Structure 1
Amino acid sequence: MHIKWNALAQTAGVSFGITVAVVAVFALGILALSRREASQSARGSESGAAAGGRLALAGAYTCFAACAAAVVYGLTLIAGK
């Protein structure tokens, strides 16, 4: 039995990198949601807070959609076609 150590290391490295990236993007989505809540609570004091809240919500949805797409893509790779 011959183990291709280079291929194993590449697979482990890419898996680690993608995992860190997905977690970071998810954390950015959570941060955007918290910014939206802060924007809503400050809405009475600022006039532009509503636009900032909508922008933060759109950013959060984008981050969560990117995470979901990465998970679905990984599942299709595992399951095969």
Structure 2
Amino acid sequence: MDINWGTLAGVFAVSLGITAVVVVMFSLGLAAWARAGHGEPASHTSRARHQKAAKATAVLCFASCLAVAAYGIALIVTG
């Protein structure tokens, strides 16, 4: 039994990179969610616009993390 070390290193590098991207996206989602104010009404319109943009950014970040996780699970289940 031979191990193809180049392929093993490639799989390791890709998995490490994807893990780092998911962690960063989740962290950015948490930061944007905190900036959104958790649904508290804003006193003026410019602040409300920033809260909506922050909430949309948070949802996009969380959705991308969910998509990566779902794709990984689909790869494992379908084998």
Same fold (TM > 0.5): yes
Deviant stretches of 4+, over 2 Å: none
> Mind listing any 5+ residue stretches in structure 1 that lack a counterpart?
none
> Mind listing any 5+ residue stretches in structure 2 that lack a counterpart?
none
Residue pairs, 1:38-53, within 5 angstroms: 40=40, 43-44=42-43, 46-53=44-51
- Distance, in Å, in 2 between the alignment partners of 1:22 and 1:73 is 13
* Equivalences, count: 78
Post-superposition CA distance 1:13-48 (Å, at most 9, x none): 00000000000000010010111128x58x33x541
Pick from 65, 68, 75 the counterpart of residue 70 of structure 1: 68
- Distance, in Å, in 2 between the alignment partners of 1:15 and 1:80 is 19
Q: TM-score, normalised by structure 1?
A: 0.87
